[in-house]
Amino acid sequence: MTAETSGEAPAATRCGFVALIGAPNVGKSTLVNALVGAKVTIVSRKVQTTRALIRGIVIENNAQVILVDTPGIFLPKRRLDRAMVSTAWSGAHDADLVCVLLDAKAGIDEEAEAILTKVASVKHEKILVINKVDLVQREKLLALAQAANERMPFAKTFMIAAISGDGVDDLRHTLAEIVPPGPFLYPEDQMSDAPMRQLAAEITREKIYRKLHQELPYQSTVETDKWEERKDKSVRIEQTIFVERESQRKIVLGAGGATIKSIGADSRKELAEILGVPVHLFLFVKVRENWGDDPDRYREMGLEFPKE
């Protein structure tokens, strides 16, 4: 029996933005994948955005939850770092509620401490999500949850393992209940409104960061030069990774080209999963001096250029 035949009014829809805030490598992208399902639905709020806000859309019962996967928040040292952190925090302030992610193994380290201190100024409801709980003993998890909640009052606390999906269903259900009443903002079947060239560039840039985050902290940018859809349904993509110095180019290439091959393999795999077709990815590395001080490059990435 449907709501129409029973005379009951259909359930009102709910829709809202949920910002995922956390340090790099805390598992935000993995959580987006787990919340959304098999294929990540990625959309963009800004035109030509790459390092800005990437979203996954979750449909749960009568609710649409739009996830804002902000850049990992870290202690900024360079102008580009400051721009990315500023973007992440603007995503938190603009959202309807905020999920603060902590790495169960790392605990409240220097980066987590800085995030907890600053997120206190965000007025929206905040939810604590402790990820990677499968790597830590229960006693330590409880102590971590208590310590975080002592620093600020969280509306709810969830303990999850995003990579295996443990605890993710409960989080998804709660987010759907908390987002405010309102109409859906995106069609239910929408896959993406982000230009695929830019999405591909962001994915490759993310792989660079994961592989080289100690040696090359955000000192690279990626541009998709060619995108060819072939007759066999596969896609050929050519990208250029720009760095500021020759020494950085050597780091990205790695001994015998091993690092760039690994980055390409990881990026190709994720792109193939999103596109649903075979992907042929070709990466090139070039030096573009002082690109980190070029306002035009920031605009292309959907970031505001910090004046200092």
Annotated binding site for GTP: 22-29, 69-73, 131-134
Q: How far is CA 15 from CA 31, 40, 127, 163, in A?
A: 19, 18, 17, 26
Q: Residue 288 burial by CB count (10 A; 0-12/13-18/19+): exposed, middle or buried?
A: middle
Report the SS3 class of residue 223. strand
- Roughly what angle, to the nearest 10 degrees, separates helices 196-212 and 258-275? 140
Pairing of strands 220-229, 235-243: antiparallel
Q: Contact, 304 vs 86, CB < 8 A? A: yes
How far is residue 225's CA from residue 67's CA, in Å, rounded to a whole number?
Answer: 28
* Residue numbering of the annotated binding site: 22-29, 69-73, 131-134
